[in-house]
Amino acid sequence: MITDPRPLTNMRRPIIAGNWKMNMGPEKAFDLMDNMLEQLDAIEDVDIVICPSFVSLETFADMFDGTSLFLGAQNMFWEEQGAFTGEVSPLMLQSMCDYVILGHSERRQYFHESDQDVRRKVDAALSHDLMPIICVGENLQENEAGRTLEIIERHVTAAFEGLDQQYVNKCVIAYEPIWAIGTGKPATGEGANRVFGAIRRKVADLHGDTAAQEIRIQYGGSVNKENIAEFISQPEIDGALVGGASLKPGEFVRIVAVTSQAKRMPAPKRK
């Protein structure tokens, strides 16, 4: 049980990730990134992760070389190779990416990914030196039925139960209430912070207080330049997984800048 999360809160380095989803081919993606790369690279104290579509990963790997930005993929299969038409393996991503988004609600909803599928992907990512951003969150019906914590605890347990202790804090958790994604109706900062506290308690149950205090948790769901300060000012919230706003250079730069101003930490060594 976490007795007091506050003393270690400021030790977690903030992280902002942009999920570009299924938008733009390599040329347009390059132009969009080129419009904000220099500004983002100049911002300190935040880990910045950009997750374009698979077809743009190689282009971005070259662009990010020599910068402070990290590259992430939007999904990944758990097998290294084989007869899995259309899938992308961790071996294919390992040489290009630092992070990979796993268990996003759109993958769970449209492609019927189960908690067990997500766990297989988490294990595969970690064994190939990729840092998973593990998405958890409840839908509107579950929220209105008062099942938020039940759903969150199920997702966290599936992803972390029995995980080797050395890997726990190589993961990032993204709490995305499904009812807030792309709707323009985000959760409140205070409400999200309470859920984050429950997430940390569940991680503590599984892996101890230190792991729970150290793991980074992002908020996702209609994040923009107007509301990022409300979220990032909360003690348990370490950053954001940004969707539509990450496709707007000025807005995304502002989100990262506000985060940097709110939470200052020294830069870690890159892998």
pLDDT (tens digit per residue) in 45-88? 999 999 999 999 999 999 999 999 999 999 999 999 999 999 99
SS3 155: helix
**Which residues belong to the active site?**
104, 176
What pLDDT, on the 0 to 100 scale, is given for residue 2? Answer: 29
Predicted structure pTM score: 0.92
The average pLDDT across 14-41 equals 98
Q: Which of 127, 230, 109 has the alpha carbon at shortest distance from 171?
A: 127
Mean pLDDT of the chain: 92
Strand partners, 49: 17, 70
- Alpha carbon 201 to chain centroid, angstroms: 19
| pLDDT value at 267 more than 80 | no
Confidence band of 123 (pLDDT split at 50, 70, 90) = very high
What pLDDT, on the 0 to 100 scale, is given for residue 178? Answer: 86
**pLDDT tens column, 160-201:** 999 999 999 999 999 999 888 877 777 899 999 999 999 999
Structure token digits, residue 101: 């988004």
